[in-house]
Structure 1
Amino acid sequence: MDWYPVLLRELIIFKRRLLKFGYLLSAMMLPIIYFVVFGLGLGRMVQIGGKSYLSFLIPGLVAMTSMTNSYTWIANSLNLNRLYFKTFQVLYLAPISYSAIIIGEVLAGMIKGLFAASLIIAVGFLTCPNFGLTLPFIVALFLNCFLFASLGFVVGMLSKGHEETATYSNFFILPMGFFCGTFFPIERIPDFLKPIVYLFPLTYTNILIRKEVFDNIALISILVLIFYSFILFGLGLRTLKNYSE
């Protein structure tokens, strides 16, 4: 249980920031804008698979919001603590295992991602009568938060400055949010882009999160997400073991 103090520290920091209205509003501003513009605006004129566009959009916004918040919380805080505040070095020298550090940090990122996603889910229940939670939805949400929190840990350890963290986000997180099935079906993506899109893990989250049952495609998506999760978590652990600064 030596990972618990690491997690508790991050949760205390998150609680203090959460009490600030501006912080919470800024974290939710982008998905709310997408929801109003695409869902309530253009969505009234569009149907996908015989259902309203809003019922298609909300799961995608949940996937994108959980990805962004899980990743950003870890990447930014770890980068700042490591390079500017120098508090990560204190944690690194503490008498706890390397696995405890990464587990505590990744769980903290997951909790922040789940919290942000829960706000979008609440909006979905209030605005979309066809919206509901399924078991594939829940599995996809947890795997997505774990995966991108692990990615955030890797980026936070490797980046040499706060600007570099933003660069990683612009090259990976932002394109995934728009091209991996959040706002429109993956089948409508041009063929020359599909090989690239299917390399991104958010694509499989968006596939799984819209499934009602565990069919073959859902199971393949789960295996891909687990594969990415193990790779990123292992890479983060290896980066932590080789850390020297």
Structure 2
Amino acid sequence: MSLSYRVYYVWKRNFYSFKRFVIPTLLVSLGEPLFYLVAMGMGLGAYMGLLGGKSYLGFLAPGIVMSGVMLSSAFECLYGTLVRMIHEKIFDSLIVTPISAEDAVAGDIAWAIFRGWISGFLVLAAAVLLGAVSVSLPGVILLFLAMTAVGLVFASLSMIVTSFAPNFDFFNYYTELFITPMFFFSGVFFPLDRLPEWVKVAAHFLPLTHAVDISRAALEGRFSTALAYNFLALILPGIILFYAALLCMKRRLIK
């Protein structure tokens, strides 16, 4: 199983397609995270005290940044990939050229990671404008690396799900039973230390938990070697899931 420079051409094809609908796509990418920031961070936050010496909006924003990355990269490799595969027949067209099935899938995953970057930095910009967080160059670099790792994990995992999906309804199992619960139990909306012990233990097996930890540390200026554990908990599963996604999708594309 090998990859080539042709991965870039697949990414480029998706980018050119994206440019035609860039404004509505960006608005959709920003809409839901911004809703959580405003409705919960400023609305609910007005009735809450300080969390760790900061406002609830300041607590919420780092988690919303990473959840935006998760949702964008995951949905791109769910609905976006299935549309390109079944309805537009893009993959069928690609693999009859010198582009291999692995290159085509890796290019789609790379594109999903890029979409995650866009969503993450849009939400970060909104959080800064709302006064929720402040940024520094080291913090932004750390966030960029974390967004890349998060995008790899969720794009690859979603690609595996898509490789078995007969239709769009199949995705409901994945989103409702995995993505949505993780969104609420990864420390995005409330501190994990206030949850039962078994929930805290389970939460540390969720990739979004580690992403939120990195995001909060980066935006609060808490840089330490302890973050290496969080990165390791994202990168190792990400690599495994990436190669599993290549294998699963290749089996579906080449019958």
Structure 2 CA distance, aligned partners of 1:219 and 1:24? 32
User: Does residue 229 of structure 1 match 2:233?
Assistant: no
Alignment equivalent of 1:181, drawn from 187, 203, 206: 187
Is 1:141 the counterpart of 2:147? The answer is yes
Partner Cα separation in structure 2 for residue 130 and residue 87 of structure 1? 41
Amino acid at match of 2:76: W
Q: Point out where structure 2 has 5 or more consecutive residues left out of the alignment.
A: none
Q: Distance in 1 between matches of 2:207 and 2:169?
A: 24
After superposition, the C-alpha distances for 1:173-193 in whole angstroms (9 at most, x for unaligned) are 111111111111121222232
Matched residue, 1:124: 127
Which of 65, 73, 89 lines up with 1:70 in the alignment?
A: 73
User: Quick one: which of 139, 162, 165 aligns to 2:171?
Assistant: 165
Distance 1:197 1:28 in 2: 26
Query: Hey, what's the Cα distance between the residues in 2 that align with 1:150 and 1:8?
Result: 19
Gap change, CA 1:130 and 1:65, over 3 Å in 2: closer
AA of the residue aligned to 2:202: I
Q: Kindly indicate whether the alpha-carbon contact (under 8 Å) linking 2:61 and 2:132 is maintained by their aligned counterparts in 1.
A: no
CA distance in 2, matches of 1:194, 1:160: 35
Q: CA RMSD in A?
A: 1.9
What percent of counterpart residues are identical? 30
- 2:251: which partner in 1? 242
Aligned to 1:15: 19
Once residues 74 and 130 of structure 1 are traced to their aligned partners in structure 2, the CA distance between those partners, rounded to angstroms, is 30
For residues 96 and 223 of structure 2, the distance between their equivalents in structure 1, rounded to whole angstroms, comes to: 44
Task: Indicate the larger mover: 64-73 or 161-170.
Answer: 161-170
Partner of 1:155: 161
In the TM superposition, residue 63 of structure 1 has moved relative to its aligned partner by 0.4
Q: CA deviation at 1:229?
A: 0.6
When normalised by structure 2's length, the TM-score is 0.88
Tell me which of 14, 30, 33 is aligned to 1:31: 33
* 2:77–2:162 Cα contact (<8 Å) kept: yes
Query: Larger deviation: 128-137 or 117-126?
Result: 128-137
8 Å contact kept, 1:78–1:157? no
Match of 1:100 among 93, 99, 103: 103
Instruction: State the distance in 1 between where 2:248 and 2:132 align.
Output: 46
Q: Which residue of 2 aligns with 1:109?
A: 112
1:148 is paired with a residue whose SS is helix
How many residues are matched? Answer: 243
The whole-number CA distance in structure 2 between the counterparts of 1:35 and 1:50 is 18
Q: CA deviation at 1:236?
A: 0.6
Contact 1:63 1:206 in 2 (8 A): yes
Distance in 2 between residues matched to 1:190 and 1:136, nearest whole Å: 30
Q: Separation in 2 of the partners of 1:10 and 1:191? A: 44
Unaligned runs of 5+ in 1: none
2:171 and 2:84 map into 1 onto residues whose CA distance is: 13
- Counterpart-to-counterpart distance in 2, 1:163 and 1:153: 15
**CA distance in 2 between partners of 1:176 and 1:217 (Å):** 22
Q: How does 1:54-93 map to 2 (within 5 A)?
A: 54-93=57-96
